[in-house]
């Protein structure tokens, strides 16, 4: 046998072993579809062709599992479905449990996946009803809203009544949260709880309305004397009923704090308007209204003017950059302890970014990558700040403001690239200012050591999040979704694992050489 033939045989044997290893027999388990429509694919992954679909509530017998995918009987043959979009039939018979959060700001998600939207949070010690479990995720109910939390961050306590274990059931929410406040610029009100339902109105950011009832992740609001409608709860916050009732004036008597010296205060809500005066870091201004991305504020002279939202803080906590004398904790070599790193998941909300030839949305891929990177950096001791933690739109200047407000030691903006020429491949690390080049080189080197894509090197570019950012900042394009072969690589968990490790290693190398 020739040397070439031996190599071919070895590769085939290795591939067969790798393919078989993750498959675990799960014959006999029945799962229930837990999403409106679920694609059935020819293999265990999003890159396999769709061979059919199933509807919410349908049952399927699991033949085997491979990673996060179930092989099922489908029609006269077989198919594969995503395990995070189904629930086990046995979950309905689970003993009633209480989930207690171990950490502050534990994300509650719409589905058991890091890719799912965040609809709320739990604080440390907060207890909620646990209604089921799927792998490393637990389904819970908080204030009548259904969601999922990761089991790594909760303590499960068995409920009992007179010493007897009861069945896990969703609580009957007779008293839903009293008030819903809109947190997006504009929110459609619908006739029924569903995205396909007819639109009956539009409500805007800051407005608050009484809640009549809840249905899953939808709430029905009282809009007037006889008018009501449904909105998706993800786009607002639920809270106690207002003493005065009706719409609340969310900006009444609100104070904002200026973040930097020499901040422009203008005659109108635009950067092209004339400068009325300037304010220094630490100065507080009273807000009397809002206009898009600007606050209308009152001045000591009695005049009113406008200041951009991205140059002020609305919190009561002290801002690191407001004091030039504030000192940071010393960093421990080989770790990221004492450092603050802002992780910026590119795009989001109505800004989808690029879309790959296989249908991959950049905004979701950047978020999954950012969450994994955040976990690695926290494990290394860093204080990590995310510019977004869900599928929401964040203005570019707001992202810069987060970097400034956090006094970031590094700002990492994550993206995936595209080009009309689908043959172009590779990853690129960008910088704008000279002081950003060293960080870009270190991170690019770290990536080159962990991923096998073509290295396009470090390049200067005029991106706003770099150009307007006073902190040390880079923007990374982690490969081209416009290239079909590269898209298949970029959408794998393995690639995200390798890429985030490369960025982590680049940060360690950069700060160890400073």
Average pLDDT on 67-94 reads 76
C-alpha of 407 from chain center:
22
Tracing tokens 């639920």 back to the chain, one arrives at 238
Q: Which tens digit of pLDDT belongs to each residue from 152-175?
A: 778 777 654 333 333 333 444 444
Q: Is residue 390 predicted with pLDDT exceeding 60?
A: yes
CATH number for the domain formed by residue range(s) 179-239: 2.30.30.40
Q: What angle do CA 356, 359, 360 make, to 5 degrees?
A: 65
Q: Which tens digit of pLDDT belongs to each residue from 23-55?
A: 444 456 788 887 767 888 888 877 678 888 888
Q: Confidence class of residue 463 from pLDDT cuts 50, 70 and 90? A: very high
The CATH H-level superfamily of 94-165 is SH3 Domains (2.30.30.40)
Residue 35 is classified by DSSP as S
Residue of 445, 342, 443, 317 lying closest to 401 (CA atoms): 342
CATH assignment of 328-512, given 3.20.20.70, 3.40.630.40, 3.30.420.40, 3.90.1720.10? 3.40.630.40
Distance CA 455, CA 448 (A): 7
Please provide the DSSP assignment of 310-378 as one string.
Answer: GGEE-SSSPPGGG-TT--PPPPPTTS-TT-EEEEEE--BTTB---B-TT--BHHHHHHHHHHHHHHHHH
Is the model more confident about 258 or about 162? 258
CATH number for the domain formed by residue range(s) 255-319: 2.30.30.40
Q: Which tens digit of pLDDT belongs to each residue from 488-509?
A: 999 998 999 999 999 999 999 9
Distance CA 61, CA 43 (A): 16
Distance CA 489, CA 453 (A): 9
Give pLDDT, residue 408: 92
Q: Which tens digit of pLDDT belongs to each residue from 422-449?
A: 999 999 999 999 999 999 999 999 999 9
Domain 23-89 indexed as CATH 2.30.30.40: yes
Give pLDDT, residue 124: 67
Distance CA 292, CA 250 (A): 14
Q: Is residue 92 predicted with pLDDT exceeding 60?
A: no
Is the model more confident about 369 or about 213? 369
Distance CA 146, CA 142 (A): 7
Give pLDDT, residue 131: 78
Whether the Cβ atoms of residue 287 and residue 297 lie closer than 8 Å to each other: yes
Average pLDDT over the chain, rounded to whole?
78
Question: 43-54 burial by CB neighbour count: b if 16+ within 10 A, else e?
Answer: ebbbeeeebeeb
Is the model more confident about 349 or about 233? 349
Q: Which tens digit of pLDDT belongs to each residue from 264-299?
A: 888 888 777 888 888 876 688 888 888 877 888 888
Locate 436 and state its tokens: 């950003």
What is the percentage of the chain residues whose pLDDT exceeds 70? 75
Distance CA 83, CA 35 (A): 11
Average pLDDT on 440-463 reads 94
CATH 3.40.630.40 boundaries in the chain = 328-512
Is the model more confident about 200 or about 383? 383
Q: Is residue 74 predicted with pLDDT exceeding 80?
A: yes
* 291: β partners: 294
Cβ neighbours of residue 6 under 8 Å, at least 6 residues apart?
A: none
Residue 327, class by beta-carbon neighbours within 10 Å (0-12 exposed, 13-18 middle, 19+ buried)? exposed
Q: What angle do CA 301, 305, 310 make, to 5 degrees?
A: 125
Cβ neighbours of residue 246 under 8 Å, at least 6 residues apart?
A: 208, 210
CATH 2.30.30.40 boundaries in the chain = 23-89, 94-165, 179-239, 255-319
């Amino acid at each position: 046998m020739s040397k070439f033939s031996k190599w071919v045989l070895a590769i085939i044997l290795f591939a067969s072993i790798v393919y078989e290893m993750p498959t675990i027999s799960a014959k006999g388990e029945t799962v229930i579809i837990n999403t409106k429509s679920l694609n059935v694919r020819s293999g265990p992954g999003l890159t396999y062709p769709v061979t059919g679909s199933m509807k919410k509530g349908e049952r399927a017998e699991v033949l085997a599992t491979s990673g996060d995918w179930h092989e099922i009987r489908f029609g006269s043959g077989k198919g594969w479905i995503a395990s995070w979009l189904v629930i086990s039939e046995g979950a309905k018979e689970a003993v009633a449990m209480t989930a207690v959060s171990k950490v502050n700001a534990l994300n509650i998600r719409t589905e058991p996946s890091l890719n799912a939207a965040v609809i709320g949070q739990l604080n440390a010690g907060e207890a909620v009803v646990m209604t089921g479990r799927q792998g490393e995720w637990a389904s819970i109910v908080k204030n009548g809203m259904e969601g999922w939390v990761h089991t790594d961050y909760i303590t499960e306590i068995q409920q009992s009544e007179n010493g007897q274990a009861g069945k896990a059931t969703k609580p009957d929410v007779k008293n839903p949260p009293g008030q819903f406040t809109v947190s997006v610029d504009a929110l459609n009100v619908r006739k029924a709880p569903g995205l396909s339902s007819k639109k009956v109105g539009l409500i805007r950011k800051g407005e608050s309305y009484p809640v009549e009832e809840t249905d899953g992740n939808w709430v029905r609001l009282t809009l007037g004397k006889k008018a009501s409608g449904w909105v998706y709860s993800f786009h607002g916050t639920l809270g106690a009923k207002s003493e005065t009732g009706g719409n609340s004036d969310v900006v009444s008597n609100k104070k904002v704090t200026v973040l930097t010296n020499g901040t422009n205060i203008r005659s109108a809500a635009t950067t092209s308007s004339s400068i009325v005066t300037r304010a220094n870091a630490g100065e507080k201004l009273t807000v009397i209204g809002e206009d898009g991305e600007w606050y209308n504020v009152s001045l000591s002279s009695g005049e009113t003017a406008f200041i951009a939202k991205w140059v002020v803080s609305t919190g009561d906590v002290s801002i690191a950059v407001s004091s030039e004398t504030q000192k940071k904790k010393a960093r421990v070599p080989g770790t990221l302890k004492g450092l603050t790193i802002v992780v910026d998941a590119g795009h989001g909300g109505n800004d989808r970014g690029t879309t790959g030839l296989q249908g991959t949305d950049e905004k979701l891929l950047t978020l999954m990558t950012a969450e994994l990177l955040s976990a690695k950096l926290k494990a290394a001791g860093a204080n990590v700040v995310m510019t977004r933690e869900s599928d929401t739109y964040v203005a570019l200047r707001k992202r810069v403001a987060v970097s400034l407000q956090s006094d970031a030691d590094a700002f990492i903006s994550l993206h995936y690239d595209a080009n009309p020429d689908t043959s172009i491949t590779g990853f690129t690390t960008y910088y704008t200012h000279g002081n950003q080049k060293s960080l870009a080189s270190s991170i690019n080197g770290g990536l080159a050591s962990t991923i096998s894509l073509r290295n396009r090197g470090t390049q200067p570019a005029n991106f706003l999040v770099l150009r307007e950012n006073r902190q040390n900042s880079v923007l990374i394009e982690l490969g081209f979704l416009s290239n079909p072969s590269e898209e298949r690589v970029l959408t794998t968990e393995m690639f995200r694992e390798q890429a985030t490790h490369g960025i982590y290693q680049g940060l360690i190398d950069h700060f160890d050489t400073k």
